[in-house]
């Protein structure tokens, strides 16, 4: 792979991309749909307490369990870590005099895209939080990777300590309303999202604002920020760029297995508590820490697979999704809201978890096929191309022949 010179201020051309990193990003963006589909299709409260809505027995329970153990918080952690790595990847190899200004402009446009996504389409947007954190992370670009990892640990400790303190001080009352919303509240949310786009705005806008203010300060800043610091450290250590040994990546996989055991212990704990609110905050901590290890395990496993089959169809398909990750993230919202919201098919609150799994697989198939076909003719995804053009202030080449 040709390394960019230290003085360039141009975007990285497609031929210089790191295949394993793109494949990891592809897995992350596909994987987050496993959890996001629940919020696209059901009341938001199911993320915290899956028993509050929909059938939770038989096959539906097992679909939830697989999603919780292997996906919930894992892929968003991985996605966040990749964003942190992307901060350094963007800055490295560019003219230092221009790099900071370009990054700030890039992040400002990401903020605009995120705000439009959150208020026009879906309140569950993460791009606003990522853009705001990106401005913060810029100050840490030259730090030692070991120090970055320590920052990540400190950030992840913050919600852990605060939530445990709240649980000890206030007991179940601290999460009671969120853990078991009134049936009328849940039905109102269902009715809202089965209605038209304007009617949905009454729920979408305040929910998005809550997530971008109290939600950001209380949780996302620490959880996503911590993962981003770890992503920056892993990038500097060469773990995301194919520079580390197979042995290193097998260790990541082993850590992922430990993480899965921690998450399963959390499931045992909450079920032993009969899904009572009193066990809620403690249950969340199992997944909080286990997910970090599982995400690392995914990095190791995907990297090892890409080394084993560097030109295989699976590697190329995942890398294609990763190279168009922003487009695919937004496309998931467009497709899902069209299926579930009232301005589309209006199926919100109607499908079982098993049926939602089928929707996820169908959307994956569409996204993988479109990504592979698109990149045969174009250099970047459509949203990526617009973002690059806005960042650099000039039209970027679009066709592969350009």
The Cα 30–Cα 377 span in angstroms is: 22
Residue 1 lies in a domain: no
Exposure letters 17-42 (e unless 16+ CB within 10 A, then b): ebbbbbbbbbbbbbbbbbbbbbbbbb
* Per-residue pLDDT reduced to its tens digit, 6-61: 444 455 555 446 899 999 999 999 999 999 999 999 999 999 999 999 999 999 99
Q: What is the pLDDT of residue 98?
A: 86
The Cα 262–Cα 283 span in angstroms is: 11
* Per-residue pLDDT reduced to its tens digit, 229-285: 999 999 999 999 888 999 999 999 999 999 999 999 999 999 999 998 888 878 889
Instruction: Say if residue 366's pLDDT is above 70.
Output: yes
Three-state SS for 345?
A: coil
Exposure letters 215-248 (e unless 16+ CB within 10 A, then b): ebeebbbbbbbbbbbbbbbbbbbebbbbebeeee
Q: Nearest Cα to 319, choosing from 27, 82, 83, 91?
A: 27
Residue 354 lies in a domain: yes
Give ∠ CA 84-233-11 in degrees, rounded to 5: 45
The Cα 323–Cα 317 span in angstroms is: 10
Structure tokens at 302: 């995907």
Q: Nearest Cα to 336, choosing from 326, 346, 327?
A: 346
Structure tokens at 246: 């197979």
Q: What is the pLDDT of residue 12?
A: 55
Query: What confidence category does residue 96 fall into, taking pLDDT thresholds of 50, 70 and 90?
Result: confident
Q: What's the number of CA atoms in the CB half-sphere (13 Å) around residue 163?
A: 20
Residue 401 lies in a domain: no
Residue 3 lies in a domain: no
Where does residue 206 rank: exposed (0-12), middle (13-18), buried (19+ CB within 10 A)? exposed
Are 384 and 327 contacting, i.e. CB atoms less than 8 angstroms apart?
Answer: yes
Work out the end-to-end distance of the chain between its first and last CA atoms, rounded to an integer number of angstroms.
21
Q: What is the pLDDT of residue 307?
A: 94
Separate counts of helices (H) and strands (E) for the chain: 17, 0
Q: What is the pLDDT of residue 4?
A: 38
Range of the domain at 342: 14-392
- Mean of pLDDT values over 377-392: 96
Structure tokens at 318: 């995942």
The Cα 213–Cα 222 span in angstroms is: 13
Three-state SS for 293?
A: helix
The Cα 54–Cα 352 span in angstroms is: 7
- The mean pLDDT of the chain is 92
Residue 104 lies in a domain: yes
Instruction: Say if residue 391's pLDDT is above 70.
Output: yes
Q: What is the pLDDT of residue 6?
A: 40
Instruction: Say if residue 186's pLDDT is above 80.
Output: yes
Instruction: Say if residue 395's pLDDT is above 50.
Output: yes
The Cα 271–Cα 51 span in angstroms is: 11
Looking at the 3D structure of the chain, how many domains does it have?
1
Instruction: Say if residue 5's pLDDT is above 90.
Output: no
Residue 84 lies in a domain: yes
Q: State the pTM of this model.
A: 0.93
Residue 2 lies in a domain: no
Residue 229 lies in a domain: yes
* Per-residue pLDDT reduced to its tens digit, 325-350: 999 999 999 999 999 999 999 999 99
């Amino acid at each position: 792979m040709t390394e960019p010179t230290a003085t360039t201020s141009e975007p990285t051309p497609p031929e210089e991309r790191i295949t394993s990193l793109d494949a990891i990003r592809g897995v992350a963006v596909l994987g987050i749909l496993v959890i996001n589909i629940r919020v696209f299709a059901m009341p938001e409260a199911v993320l915290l307490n899956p028993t509050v809505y929909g059938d939770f027995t038989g096959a539906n329970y097992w679909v939830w369990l697989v999603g919780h153990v292997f996906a919930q918080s894992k892929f968003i952690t991985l996605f966040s870590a990749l964003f942190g790595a992307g901060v350094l990847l963007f800055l490295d190899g560019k003219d230092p005099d221009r790099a900071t200004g370009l990054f700030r402009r890039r992040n400002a446009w990401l903020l605009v895209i995120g705000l439009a996504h959150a208020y026009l389409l879906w309140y569950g947007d993460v791009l606003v939080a990522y853009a705001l954190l990106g401005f913060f992370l810029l100050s840490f670009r030259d730090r030692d990777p070991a120090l970055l990892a320590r920052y990540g640990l400190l950030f992840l400790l913050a919600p852990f300590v605060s939530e445990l303190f709240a649980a000890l001080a206030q007991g179940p009352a601290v999460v009671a309303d969120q853990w078991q919303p009134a049936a009328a509240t849940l039905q109102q949310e269902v009715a809202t999202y089965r209605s038209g786009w304007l009617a949905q705005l009454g729920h979408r806008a305040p929910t998005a604002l809550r997530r971008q203010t109290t939600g950001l300060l209380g949780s996302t800043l620490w959880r996503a920020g911590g993962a981003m610091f770890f992503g920056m450290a892993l990038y500097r250590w060469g773990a995301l760029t194919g520079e580390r040994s197979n042995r290193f990546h097998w260790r990541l996989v082993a850590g992922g297995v430990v993480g899965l055991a921690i998450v399963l212990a959390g499931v045992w704990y909450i079920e032993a508590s009969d899904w009572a609110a009193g066990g809620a905050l403690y249950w969340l901590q199992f997944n909080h820490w286990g997910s970090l290890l599982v995400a690392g395990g995914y990095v190791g496993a995907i990297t090892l697979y890409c080394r084993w089959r560097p030109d295989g169809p699976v590697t190329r398909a995942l890398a294609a999704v990763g190279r168009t990750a922003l487009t695919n993230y937004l496309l998931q919202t467009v497709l899902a809201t069209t299926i579930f919201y009232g301005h589309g098919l209006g199926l919100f609150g109607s499908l079982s978890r098993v049926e939602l799994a089928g929707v996820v697989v169908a959307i994956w198939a569409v996204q993988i096929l479109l990504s592979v076909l698109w990149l045969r003719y174009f250099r970047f995804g459509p949203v990526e191309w617009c973002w690059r053009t806005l960042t650099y202030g000039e039209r970027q080449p679009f066709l592969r022949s350009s």
